[in-house]
Amino acid sequence: MLPSNIRNRFPIFAKIPGLVYLDSAATSLKVQEVLDAEMTYYTEYSANVHRGIYRLAEQATAAYEDARHAVAELISASSHEEIVITSGTTGGINLVANALVPKIRMSERIVTTIMEHHSNFVPWQQAAKRAQCEFAVIPVRVDGFLDVFSADGTAVDEGKLSEYVTTRTRVFAVTALSNTLGTLQPIRQLVKAIKRIAPNCTVVVDAAQAVPFTGINVQQLGADFVAFSAHKIFGPTGVGVLWGDRYALDLLPPSQFGGEMVAHVAVEETTYKKPPLKFEAGTPNIAGAIGMAVAARFLGEFSAHDIRKHESELVSYCIDGLRDAFANEITIMGTPDVAKRAGLVSFFFRNAHAHDVAQILDEDHICVRAGHHCAMPLHNRFSIPASVRASFSIYNTREDVDRLLAGLRKVREVL
């Protein structure tokens, strides 16, 4: 069970009384300890990392490297050396995509899904164009499950999967949890099925939404690369993680070049350090990494079961309230089975644009996302111009849902 006073650890609630923040899928609120850790770095030991041999520099390096240990523990990595510190999920996925392009043949295929965030769709679309290889996109059903899953969404239909994944499939990129549908896909089973059909396929998982809700055990997942962002787990923006299997990281060439990632530079040739430093050219977001370490340990204070239970109860309460208050006026996206949903609800009014809905809610300090949620192909799939998304986190309450429902009644009156 989550602590009843957990909101006290987020200073924004004291600064903005009455705030109803329902946009954690875009970015979570920041815990006080994270802010303190970043400020301490800037005011007490601000120095570059991996370079100086004076005490401040060594302290900064130790704090920066501690982030790898904190994240490795959070996602059950076998070693901190599997943790590449990036600018976020987008940066991690682009790192892999750019590095893999020269290795992809024209006869091969890149596969992704229609429900992907643009950060896990566009990089692979562009990689396929540069490699001049086939680009395949798996559709999604109305219930929010990918078309390669069984009717109840509990297992992989390998017959359907084999229509997209063959021995020619070089990359499979998939989100562990859609930021729009919220439907819980059986991602572990999917990765295993992909590897059975195409053992040499590189599987890249966008775990930006999954880490704060369901958690991720990278050893059990079986993917080659997993990316997520610190700002989704109550940490800073502009920093994140690319986890890579050791073998996969060893084979992956660097896609950015500069200071720190080199072992030896000469006019004739340059050699590189071993992972993860091989992929971290230049001065990193040091304060962000230090804040990320604190955020990872903060999230680790709570069990994934308790977080999921808390957010699922809010989702159930929200969906019931939407159905009772608006019936056929609102369409809810994704599966109607709350047990198979994550902590978000996307919906749209039949007679009101999502942007208008969000603006009216904002008048009462209710923050929701309106638009495509960086998932335009998914919205096009269902012929929806835009949707409203209410996403929940550990600091949300039933009162927040009540305020949302009251705000939506006001929307109906105004529009």
CA distance 166 to 37: 47
Return the axis-axis angle of helices 398-414 and 354-362, rounded to nearest 10°: 120
Whether residue 272 contacts residue 262, with contact meaning beta carbons closer than 8 Å, is answered with yes
- H-assigned helices in 101-208: 122-131, 158-161, 187-197
The catalytic residue among 133, 201, 318, 374 is: 374
Whether residue 293 contacts residue 71, with contact meaning beta carbons closer than 8 Å, is answered with yes
Nearest to 280 by CA among 263, 265, 260: 260
From residue 408, alpha-carbon distances to 50, 202, 318, 352, 405 in Å are 52, 44, 12, 11, 5
Nearest to 320 by CA among 404, 215, 414: 404
- Give, as one character, the DSSP assignment of residue 147: T
Asked if 201 is an active-site residue, the reply is no
Whether residue 176 contacts residue 209, with contact meaning beta carbons closer than 8 Å, is answered with yes
- Give, as one character, the DSSP assignment of residue 302: S
Q: What are phi and psi of 12, to 5 degrees?
A: -60, -30
| Structure token pair of residue 78 | 């076998």
Q: DSSP E strands: which ranges in 292-406? A: 330-332, 344-349, 366-367, 369-371, 387-391
CA dihedral for 197, 199, 204, 210, sign (positive or negative): positive
The catalytic residue positions are 374
